[in-house]
Amino acid sequence: MTKHLHDHHKICSRRKYQDISQMMSVGMQKQDSKRTLSTYNFDQEAGRKDLANMIILLDYPLSMVDHMGFRRFYNTIQLSFKVVSRRIIRNDIRKIYDVENEKSMKLLNKNQSRIAIASDLWTASN
**CA separation, residue 72 to residues 18, 77, 84 (Å):** 33, 9, 13
Supply the pLDDT for residue 26.
53
Residue 78 domain boundaries:
44-110
End-to-end Cα spacing for the chain? 68
Domain count across the chain: 1
Angle between helix 86-110 and helix 44-58 axes, rounded to 10 deg: 70
**SS3 state at 31:** coil
Q: Helical H runs in 1-126?
A: 3-11, 44-58, 68-77, 86-110
**CA separation, residue 28 to residues 16, 31, 32, 33 (Å):** 18, 9, 8, 5
pLDDT band of 28, cuts 50, 70, 90? very low
Tell me if 123 is assigned to some domain. Answer: no
The span from the CA of 75 to the CA of 73, in Å, is 5
pLDDT band of 17, cuts 50, 70, 90? low
Supply the pLDDT for residue 29.
46
**SS3 state at 68:** helix
Tell me if 35 is assigned to some domain. Answer: no
Tell me if 54 is assigned to some domain. Answer: yes
